[in-house]
Structure 1
Amino acid sequence: MSNWLKAMNPSTPITTEAEAARAARASAVSIIIGVIVGLVSLGWTLANPQIMQDAMAQAGGASLNEAQMQGAQQFALYTAGFMVLLQIIFGAIQWRRPGKFIAILFLVLLAYGIVSTVATPLLAGSMPNMPVIPIWQLALSLVIMIVQVVLHVTGLKGIKALDRIQMEQAR
């Protein structure tokens, strides 16, 4: 366990192939954290359907009839489920064969998530029908995304070290 915690630290020096592999898998751990957050969010929404109905109503759903509103809710739930499934696939790929592309892709997505989360309270007053998100939820989201960014950076460091070590061994 201590080897894994050490591997997740981006400032830890990487000297062996095993250390590099563990550090490279930090990116997959970050994706797994995203899967857990997605599953909790999806479960929370399914357990409390009123949350989605209120959000749709605040976002201008008053102009939609009941069938359109239910269709939009179903589409949102299926989309969220598909995104969790996609993250599971990317996480499995990243665990088995850590690669730079997936780590960088998720870093870009996390950067977008951080910017949009920080912008949410700023836009809340300027947009008339924007749903109100509790500040604790925004803060928790930011903390989780920052942890994920650190893990992806560690993963990229481990991938680079793993490539270097494998190239040296091939020579």
Structure 2
Amino acid sequence: MTDWIRASNPTAPITNEAEATAAARASALAIFLGVLWGIVGIVYLMTAGQAVMEAAVAQAAADAPEMAGLTGMMTQLALGMSVAVVVIQLVLGLVQWTRPNIVIPIIFAILVGFELIKGLMGLLMAGQGSLPEMTATPAWQLWGGLTILVVQLIMHIAGIRGARQLDRLRFEAANG
């Protein structure tokens, strides 16, 4: 366990190929953490979240009658998109685990950074918009998501460092 904690540390020195591979795989672990959190979100959306979403669409339909027929479709679309994102993350996490590279951690670091900024801006903007109170994300999901995003960002940074060092060590071995 301490080896994975050390590998996930973006400031830990990387001196050999095993350490570089472990650090690059930290990004895969971050992706798998995102998959687990995505599954939690899907379960919530299939249970209590579905009722909340349908109530929000129904409230919007009161103001715009053309929205009335979209209630079930919107919920199913959100559920389908959530499942698709989790599956894509799972595939990319497996690719990063089996063939560590620098591209996947960079992409996910950017996406995670964007989501973190978006979540923090949502916190700052809370209560300022005209969104009904029932469409608000539950506090456990909001704070849990932000915490996981911070952990993921740290692990993706470690993954970038590990993949870069792994490439450097392999290049030196091939040309050395």
Query: What TM-score does the superposition give when structure 2 sets the normalisation length?
Result: 0.88
The percentage of aligned residue pairs carrying the same residue is 36
Query: What TM-score does the superposition give when structure 1 sets the normalisation length?
Result: 0.90
Q: Which residue of 2 aligns with 1:83?
A: 85
Distance 1:37 1:123 in 2: 24
Distance 1:38 1:82 in 2: 10
Q: Which residue of 2 aligns with 1:20?
A: 20
Moved more, 103-112 or 21-30: 103-112
Moved more, 3-12 or 38-47: 3-12
Q: Which residue of 2 aligns with 1:137?
A: 141
CA RMSD of aligned residues (A): 1.7
The CA deviation at 1:47 is 2.2
Deviations 1:75-117 (A, max 9, x none): 1110111011111111111111122221111111111111111
Among 70, 76, 94, the alignment partner of 2:72 is 70
Q: SS state of the match for residue 119, structure 1?
A: helix
Q: Which residue of 2 aligns with 1:47?
A: 47
Q: Which residue of 1 aligns with 2:151?
A: 147
The CA deviation at 1:124 is 2.8
Q: SS state of the match for residue 10, structure 2?
A: coil
Question: Any runs of at least 4 consecutive aligned residues in structure 1 with deviations exceeding 6 A, and if so which?
Answer: none
Distance 1:107 1:116 in 2: 14
Deviations 1:30-52 (A, max 9, x none): 10010000001101111223132
Q: Which residue of 1 aligns with 2:163?
A: 159
Deviations 1:61-87 (A, max 9, x none): 43322x421011111110111011111
Specify every segment of 5 or more residues in structure 2 that has no aligned partner in the other structure, as ranges.
none
The CA deviation at 1:134 is 4.1
Question: Does residue 110 of structure 2 align to residue 115 of structure 1?
Answer: no
1:115 alignment partner AA: I
1:1-16 alignment runs, 5 A limit? 1-16=1-16
Among 115, 128, 133, the alignment partner of 1:126 is 128
The CA deviation at 1:135 is 4.2
